[in-house]
Structure 1
């Protein structure tokens, strides 16, 4: 539900336990917030809901340095639902929202308009004008309002605190396996398949081409992937980068789907990254490129044959 501060919230949407955060990536740490919110909601006889912002605040204040978003708004919404939230409140974020004092944010919006039965946040959650709102401040206002507030400490997985920053760093290094470890699932992107230059077809590797978000900082290179087409996952190999052998153009994701012959132009698909194969290279001849593509495909097939199937 997209919130409008000028309109009352329907009664059916009020009274939830609200978990607060940006939730980029909807990773294992966010799943812990969902678990805590769900337990509190069960105790209070209500439901857990996520409260988040769009777009990311940094894109409002520093548009020239956009943050590398791990999930698009739609994928974040789906991820929050899968994480166990019964509903999701999205507050459109702009400079006017950022100027709301933290006290008003809690008293007028969370407690007043949404009728929060309880609040849950991470240990490092800050909000409101000048980011003066803090977990401690939330606890104080919750006490005054007579509602419980839970502050979730750093959540660790395999001995490391999970964070969106950690996952971004892994993806920037091309370590999609490490990113998946902390996400709790493979990292994926969604987009429309567009017409490319048809070079892949001429080389015997017809590819499905996608433009990723401008802020994407995934390391350029070759990956073993799976593409979801009409609800079914298909194995493949993908190149993300500037195609240095040809044009050094704008970054593009080009995916060769194994054993598939359908027409994908105009289709919206998901591409999940399973493993890193190698960095992007410039080849002196097309023959050398084809030899390498054959090797990449064979290696990707081996990796994916030993990777458990994805759920639909």
Structure 2
């Protein structure tokens, strides 16, 4: 259940043990916070509290899109990790101006009726990030709430973070990002009509705009695709602006799904990046492009092989 307010919280969602954070990506470090919240009070429902939009989007709206997960995907990942309830609190000017003490008193204590809290050591909140974990520990104890401060989870000698995962994706390492996420990174979106050139070339593609998602390295990827009927297929995808065809103003994701003939227009799919195959390139003409796509399909099939979707 996604709950978009800390006021008038449904009875079944009050009195939970609550994991706190932005949770962009819901990586293995975030899952550790959820598990710590549950382990501290397994007798209580488990909830996650996050903010929508991400505070960085609110304070820096002109920044390029950076989100690893938009709200529906983030909520689904939090629920898959055990959260019965997801509080996605609207982050607007009023919320940004709330003092750290009011956040604890009005939101966590009175609004949610939280019995236990869990967060990472760098969690900060309130006006100008005036509250840190030391402040939270004191204020929570004064109100009878427990608190678990969860150390970072490390992988390959470094702490897992959303920032590091974004950099890996931008550098063309979705496989390394997946190791830290605990699953392949997925771009979810609605399939839109293109110019049908892929169909003419012999490889019809499902087209999506990147939108508010982080833009990964432009180029060709071996992918798996979550289809509307719940099945998962294999394919090859291109992230780019089609320089051979004169260029697009926005980055699009074009996916050729192996052995699939259904109509996906207007439906939502999830494209999961498995392996980066080659950078985006400008070809001399359509014949060269067609030959490159044929090689991309062969390379993606080789990478995916007998891999389970």
Mark yes or no: TM-score above 0.5: yes
Residue in structure 2 matched with residue 243 of structure 1 by the alignment: 242
- Aligned 1:158-197 pairs, distance under 5 A: 158-197=156-195
Change (3 A) 1:67 1:201: closer
SS in 1 for 2:245: coil
Structure 1 residue 147, shift from structure 2 partner: 2.1
Contact kept? 1:59, 1:66, Cα under 8 Å: no
Question: 2-side partners of 1:171 and 1:270: how far apart?
Answer: 16
- Aligned 1:43-82 pairs, distance under 5 A: 45-82=43-80
- Aligned 1:14-93 pairs, distance under 5 A: 14-42=14-42, 45-93=43-91
Structure 1 residue 193, shift from structure 2 partner: 0.8
SS in 2 for 1:245: helix
Give the root-mean-square deviation of aligned CA atoms: 1.3
Question: 2-side partners of 1:90 and 1:58: how far apart?
Answer: 15
- Aligned 1:74-223 pairs, distance under 5 A: 74-214=72-212, 216-223=214-221
Question: 2-side partners of 1:147 and 1:196: how far apart?
Answer: 53
Contact kept? 1:18, 1:119, Cα under 8 Å: yes
Q: 5+ unaligned residues in a row in structure 1: which ranges?
A: none
Q: What's the TM-score once normalised by structure 1's chain length?
A: 0.95
Q: 5+ unaligned residues in a row in structure 2: which ranges?
A: none
Structure 1 residue 10, shift from structure 2 partner: 3.1
Structure 1 residue 146, shift from structure 2 partner: 2.1
Structure 1 residue 60, shift from structure 2 partner: 1.0
Q: What's the TM-score once normalised by structure 2's chain length?
A: 0.96
Residue in structure 1 matched with residue 5 of structure 2 by the alignment: 4
Structure 1 residue 170, shift from structure 2 partner: 0.6
SS in 1 for 2:33: helix
Contact kept? 2:19, 2:33, Cα under 8 Å: yes
Moved over 3 A (4+): none
Contact kept? 2:69, 2:213, Cα under 8 Å: no
Contact kept? 1:2, 1:92, Cα under 8 Å: no
Show CA shifts across 1:182-230 (max 9, x none).
0000000111111101111111111111111145321110000111221
Structure 1 residue 9, shift from structure 2 partner: 2.3
SS in 1 for 2:3: coil
Between the two proteins, the alignment pairs up a number of residues equal to: 306
Change (3 A) 1:3 1:269: closer
Contact kept? 1:49, 1:85, Cα under 8 Å: yes
SS in 1 for 2:253: strand
Contact kept? 2:192, 2:265, Cα under 8 Å: yes
Structure 1 residue 306, shift from structure 2 partner: 4.1
Structure 1 residue 293, shift from structure 2 partner: 1.1
